[in-house]
Structures are given as C-alpha cells and as structure tokens.
Amino acid sequence: MASRATLLRPAPGFASTRCRACSASAEIALVRELALTYHPPAFTLASASVWSAHTVAVSPEISVVVSTYQRPGHLRRCLASLAVQQGVAGRFEVIVVDDGSRDETPDIVDEARRKGVFPLKFCTHPHDGFQLARCRNAGIRASTAPYLLFTDGDCIFPPDHLRRHLDARRPGVVRAGDCIRLDEPTSRQIDEAAVRSGAFLRLIEPRAQRSLRKTHLKSLIYQLARDRRRPKLVGWNMAVWRDQLERINGFDERFRGWGCEDDDVALRLRMTGARVATALGYTHAYHLWHPPHATTPLAWGDGANVAYFRRPAVLARCLEGIRSRSLAQVSTRVIGSPQQPELSRRLQHVFRESASGTELELLVWPNDAGFSSRGACRLLVLRRDAAAPAAVARRAQAVVRLEQIDSVPAMLDSIQRAVCGRGEDGGAEGRPGRAA
C-alpha cells in the first residue's frame, strides 16, 4: 500500500502542465488541502460533548439554515448533532425552515429550543409542492449572521463541523461541501444517543471515506484549472457569505420540485465574481437514508427543473428570490438603434439603468454598436421580420423577436419569457450546462 508521503506526491507531469500556470499561493493552498485530506483533525469519541445549555449568541458568526419536510426522526438527529458541536458555543444560530409538514416537526423544534443549547428559530408555510428554494430564502431572511451554512434536516455532522466551517472562511469564497450517503441499514442503527456520543462515526465504512477523498482531490484539480462549473455546490452542505446571497437575490423560487436550485445558485454566484472552493479538506456531513422524493428523476437530465436551469438567458439577480421584483425593476441598459427609433424609445421608456450596475442589456437591431456590459444578461431585440448576422446573435444569450412594438405589455412579456427560459436561443456564451 502506498505511504501517505507517496499519496501526497503529484502525479508525473502534473506540475509541468497545471501548477506551472498557477500562482505560488494556489500551490500552497493545494498542498494544505491535500494535507488535510490525508491528515484530518484528530477526534475521539471520548471528546464528544452532550446536550448542555450555552449562552445565547448575541451576534452569531454563522447561521445554520436547515430545510425539512415530513422527516421528524431525521430532524431530531440533525438537531442533536448540532447541539454537540465543539468550540462554537455562542457563535452560531440555527434556523429550521419547514416546507409545510403535518407531523410532529414543530414539537421537535420546540423541544430543542427548550434545551437552550443554541438560538433556534422556526419558519414554516403551507405545503404547496416541493419548494426547497422557498425554504432556503425564508432561512436567509430569518438569519442574522454574515455567513450562512445550508443543510437539510436529513443530515448529521461530526462534532467539529461548524468550527471547521468557520476555520474555512475566506473573503469572497463560497465553500462547497458534500456528504457521505449512508445506506438504509446504517441509518437505522444511528439513533439520537449515537449522534450525541459520536458513536455513529464507528459505523462509517472506510470505502465511503475513500470515495469522498477522491471527490476532494478532483475538486482541488477543478479549482486549479479554474473550472467555471466545478466544484459543484450541493445544498445539503454549502457555506456562503450573506452579501453574496443578497447580490444574486438568493435562491430562485421558480425552481419547484426536485433539483437544480443549488446548481442555479452556483451559476449565478460565479457570474457575480464569487469563487467556489471545496470544503472537503475541512469537514463533511453524513446523509441519513430515506426513500426518494416523488419528483426525483432516475437520471439528472430527466428532472422537471432541468429545462429551466438550462435557459439560455440568466439574470444573476433572479426575479423570484429573497425579494420578489418585476422585470421593470431590473437595472437595464438599452442600446438603441437609429434605424428603429420607435422601438428604442419605447424600451428606454420602460427600462432604467441604476447606479449599482447593469443586470440586463438589450441591443436593438440593426445597430453599429455592440454589447458592452460585462457580466450582464445579453438579449438581442429585433422585430419579427428582421434578421441579424450570426456573429451578432452568438454574442447574445437569447434573441427576442417582437410581434407588437406598440404594446408595452407585449414587449415586456416577450423579454420576460426570454429570461425565464422560453426565449429563442442565442449563442453559447454564458449558457449554463450541467455541473456533474
């Protein structure tokens, strides 16, 4: 078996192809992450704490947003694992957001709140289908810390999970975590006592740990290669700064049913300049088994949300997020056309560009000018019977053909359909794809 020193040695040719192009600081960071992978922080079962009362955090450093629905037994174990976190007394708060459960979920939250281990808030709404994005936005609104950790009520954590996430904080960096998926027999063996004591860690198979280490190493390579889609953000273990979430208006609540809402957040965070880095060198979660949700597809590409996720035109700051807003409230630059003065005038009357920056850019064709706003959603606008050169269309994320230029509602509807995934496809630049 290879020694740890051998495992830490880069593969032949790796340094010459990738590391040579990286900064020295990036190489140092890689070595540190690798060291954490093969030399994880020491933890013994004897060091695990039990339920105890702590001083309520006045200004928490991290808010843990826990989404749940109809899994009270899982939620009880999740909250138990948060109650025995070490080295973070008074530094965190927990917000449980329920998607409209009709069981003992509120009682479980009340029971945990009475124990007084950490500040605990509970948010709920009537159930109207699987609305995970809505839950997470409610958690953002209820939270107070500058740093947020998102997870699900079917996850449990090692006792140093929050401390390690706090240690991993870096300005402008989103931390992409992951979890070990526990099978049904193992999950049934893990009761609340096993979570409190940390004894559940004895049940984790070595091959699961090895698999997660491989995922970590791949994530580091993606970082060094400056991959635009990976490491992948997964909603059950991801840490984001509040100002980053506010910049993109949180999660897009147009995602209903299983999947893609976290892929979409990752895409829009990257559009606004956020850097995504793996958290796997610091910590990971454990996912308790449960039957799949009714909307979970057999293959990712068959999911009901995939078409919307792959919409060609994407606003970095979504319309239906932490706050709901109309298309007319989007900061928009209209590049008018001398050959289409009436159309240009009407668009400039409806849309305004704010001092905070351009979110949407409308280029009216024909036009000698071109798109100019970096990072904005780019739409090419032309009359139904007009045509634009392929080179111009490729620079647009979507092409909007207007039937009626004398009707402002009709124009708004056409543009809104483009940014909601039903516009004519433009070029490939900026078009989202699957992040495996």
Residue 160: what pLDDT?
98
Give the pLDDT of the chain (436 residues) as one tens digit per residue. 444 333 333 333 433 334 444 455 555 555 555 555 444 444 434 333 334 334 444 699 999 999 999 999 999 999 999 999 999 999 999 999 999 999 999 999 999 999 999 999 999 999 998 899 999 999 999 999 999 999 999 999 999 999 999 999 999 999 999 999 999 999 999 999 999 999 999 999 999 999 999 999 999 999 989 888 899 999 899 999 999 999 999 999 999 988 889 999 999 999 999 999 999 999 999 999 998 876 676 676 677 788 899 988 999 999 999 999 999 899 999 999 999 999 999 999 999 998 888 999 999 999 999 898 888 999 999 988 888 889 899 999 999 999 888 888 888 899 988 888 654 454 434 443 333 3
Which distant-in-sequence residues (6+ apart) come within 8 Å of 104 by Cβ?
Answer: 72
What does the radius of gyration of the chain's CA atoms come to, in whole angstroms?
24
Which top CATH class is 327-425? alpha beta
**CATH fold group of domain 27-38+45-309:** Spore Coat Polysaccharide Biosynthesis Protein SpsA; Chain A (3.90.550)
Residue 94: what pLDDT?
98
Can you tell me the distance from the alpha carbon of 359 to that of 337, in angstroms, rounded to the nearest whole number?
A: 20
Residue 355: what pLDDT?
86
Can you tell me the distance from the alpha carbon of 434 to that of 239, in angstroms, rounded to the nearest whole number?
A: 21
pLDDT in tens, 207-237: 999 999 999 999 999 998 988 889 999 989 9
The upper half-sphere exposure of residue 315, i.e. CA atoms within 13 Å in the direction of its Cβ, equals 32
Can you tell me the distance from the alpha carbon of 46 to that of 25, in angstroms, rounded to the nearest whole number?
A: 37
Chain centre to alpha carbon of residue 298: 22
- Joined tokens for residue 114: 């009475």
Residue 305: what pLDDT?
86
Can you tell me the distance from the alpha carbon of 86 to that of 89, in angstroms, rounded to the nearest whole number?
A: 7
pLDDT in tens, 346-384: 999 999 998 888 999 999 999 999 898 888 999 999 988
Residue 90: what pLDDT?
95
Which distant-in-sequence residues (6+ apart) come within 8 Å of 401 by Cβ?
Answer: 382, 383, 384, 386, 414, 424
List the chain domain ranges. 27-38+45-309, 327-425
The upper half-sphere exposure of residue 191, i.e. CA atoms within 13 Å in the direction of its Cβ, equals 1
Can you tell me the distance from the alpha carbon of 358 to that of 374, in angstroms, rounded to the nearest whole number?
A: 9
- Joined tokens for residue 310: 């792959």
Place of tokens 């198979």: 205
